[in-house]
């Protein structure tokens, strides 16, 4: 999917990963019992926050990174039927490294 949203400043567009379908014990969870995912793949990154000096600060994540974010962070949007989140860089809790 080509993202049709270009985030501004230090915002990041993230596609949440699917919620877990099973518990660690192997029990299948119905849709209503699944928790909101708290990680996703970065689809687009803004140019960075404008500093008082007139320069932009660098954003620490890049397109393709898998990130962790708070359960209720950011704004949920829907584009072409796809659920996405727009978050400030400060809403990101960390990067998941391979």
Q: Where do the domains of the chain lie? A: 11-18+30-96
Task: For the chain, give the mean pLDDT.
Answer: 85
Contact between 50 and 32 under an 8 Å Cβ cutoff? The reply is no
Residues near 72 by Cβ (< 8 Å), separated by ≥ 6?
A: none
**Domain 11-18+30-96 CATH superfamily:** GroES chaperonin (2.30.33.40)
Whether the per-residue pLDDT at 13 is higher than 60: the answer is yes
- Residue found by looking up tokens 């708290």 in the block: 38
The pTM of this model reads: 0.78
d(CA 76, CA 86): 7
Q: What is the pLDDT of residue 38?
A: 86
Higher pLDDT among residues 12 and 33, named by residue: 12
Burial (0-12, 13-18, 19+ Cβ within 10 Å), 28: exposed
């Amino acid at each position: 999917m080509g993202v049709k949203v270009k985030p501004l400043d230090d915002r990041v567009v993230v596609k949440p990963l699917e919620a877990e379908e099973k518990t660690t014990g192997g029990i299948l969870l119905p849709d209503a019992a699944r928790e909101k995912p708290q990680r996703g793949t970065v689809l687009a990154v803004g140019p960075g926050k404008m500093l008082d000096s007139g320069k932009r600060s660098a954003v620490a994540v890049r397109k393709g990174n898998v990130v962790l974010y708070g359960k209720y962070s950011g704004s949920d949007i829907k584009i072409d039927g796809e659920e996405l989140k727009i978050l400030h860089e400060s809403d990101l809790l960390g990067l998941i490294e391979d």
